[in-house]
Amino acid sequence: MTKKNKNIREYPIVIANLKMNGLLRESMQNFKQLRSKINDSLLGCEIVMCPPYTLLRDFAEKVPGTGIKLGAQNCHDKADGAYTGSISARMIKDMTCEYVIVGHSERRTTRNEGSELICKKAEIAHTEKLNTIICIGETLYERENDLAKIVVREQVLHSIPKTSKAENTIIAYEPVWAIGTGKTPTLEQIEEMHKYISYVIKEEIKQFENEPRIVYGGSINSSNAKSILSAEHVDGLLVGKSSLDPDEFWKIIEAAG
Ligand code: PGA
User: What is the pTM assigned to this prediction?
Assistant: 0.95
Helix, strand and coil in the chain, % to nearest 5: 45, 15, 40
Q: Is the CB of 108 under 6 A from ligand 1?
A: no
By the 8 A CB rule, do 97 and 127 touch? Answer: no
Instruction: List the residue whose alpha carbon is closest to atom 1 of ligand 1.
Output: 240
The pLDDT value recorded for residue 7 is 64
Domain boundaries defined on the chain: 13-256
**Residue whose C-alpha is closest to residue 214's, from 243, 191, 183:** 191
Give residue 1's pLDDT.
32
Q: Would the CB of 174 count as within 6 Å of ligand 1?
A: yes
The Cα–Cα gap between 217 and 215 comes to 7
Q: Which helix (H) or strand (E) holds 229?
A: helix 225-229
pLDDT at 39: 67
Predicted confidence (pLDDT) per residue in 97-142, tens digit: 999 999 999 999 999 999 999 999 999 999 999 999 999 999 999 9
Closest C-alpha to ligand 1, atom 9: 240
Q: Are 224 and 186 in contact (CB under 8 A)?
A: no
**Which helix or strand (DSSP H or E) is residue 118 part of?**
helix 115-127
Q: What is the pLDDT of residues 217-230, one digit of tens each?
A: 999 999 999 999 99
Fold of 13-256: TIM Barrel (3.20.20)
For residue 41, name the pLDDT band (cuts at 50, 70, 90).
Answer: low
